[in-house]
Structures are given as structure tokens and as C-alpha cells.
């Protein structure tokens, strides 16, 4: 997640994703959920992540639907860690977090 000469700052990323998510930005809702779920550099909070994934899903964010299923919080859920590749496509948005 290094920017152009800028060190990683997950706490700062969390702050800005939350601001955008609270204003209704669907992708920010997903990214906020992802940071809260995976916890790089921030305190993990799966319940809060699910809340933001559900909001993002309601706005049409398909990746949020995938994460909810993987967490067992959506329709057609799968158990977390069922297969090595089960989370691979859902983690595709990690690129947008890296670009932050």
C-alpha cells in the first residue's frame, strides 16, 4: 500500500474510507469492511465489517456479497477457509486498497 513516496498508513486509510462510506460511496463501504475484517494495521472487527459489507451490497457492490458469503453472513454462504481459492476473487479488491 505504498503510494508515491508515502508510507502505508492503514489508520489513515480507515479514516478516509469511513468518511466516504458515511457519505454513501459504495466502494468505500466495501473497502472499509475489508479493512475492518482483515485488520492490517487496525483493530479487526468482523461484526462492523459485516455491517459495511451489507450496506455496500445494498448499493450493488458484488464484492461485498462475496465477502458476506465467505464470512457466513450472506445467502449461499460458504465456510471461511473451505478452499484455498474461495477467497481469491474476493481479495481482488486488495489492489484498490494498495492504490490508496
pLDDT of amino acid 6:
85
- Cα(99)–Cα(17) distance, integer angstroms: 13
pTM over 0.75: no
Query: Mind listing the pLDDT tens digit for each residue in 21-76?
Result: 999 999 999 999 999 999 888 999 999 999 999 999 999 999 999 999 999 976 65
Query: Mind listing the pLDDT tens digit for each residue in 1-26?
Result: 456 788 889 999 999 999 999 999 99
Amino acid at each position: 500500500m505504498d503510494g508515491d513516496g508515502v508510507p502505508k498508513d492503514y489508520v489513515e486509510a480507515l479514516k478516509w474510507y469511513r468518511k466516504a462510506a458515511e457519505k454513501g460511496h459504495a466502494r468505500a463501504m466495501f473497502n472499509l469492511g475489508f479493512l475492518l475484517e482483515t485488520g492490517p494495521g487496525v483493530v479487526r472487527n468482523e461484526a462492523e465489517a459485516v455491517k459495511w459489507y451489507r450496506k455496500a451490497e445494498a448499493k450493488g457492490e458484488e464484492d461485498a456479497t462475496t465477502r458476506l458469503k465467505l464470512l457466513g453472513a450472506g445467502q449461499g454462504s460458504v465456510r471461511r477457509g473451505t478452499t484455498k481459492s474461495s477467497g481469491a476473487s474476493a481479495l481482488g479488491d486488495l489492489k484498490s486498497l494498495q492504490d490508496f
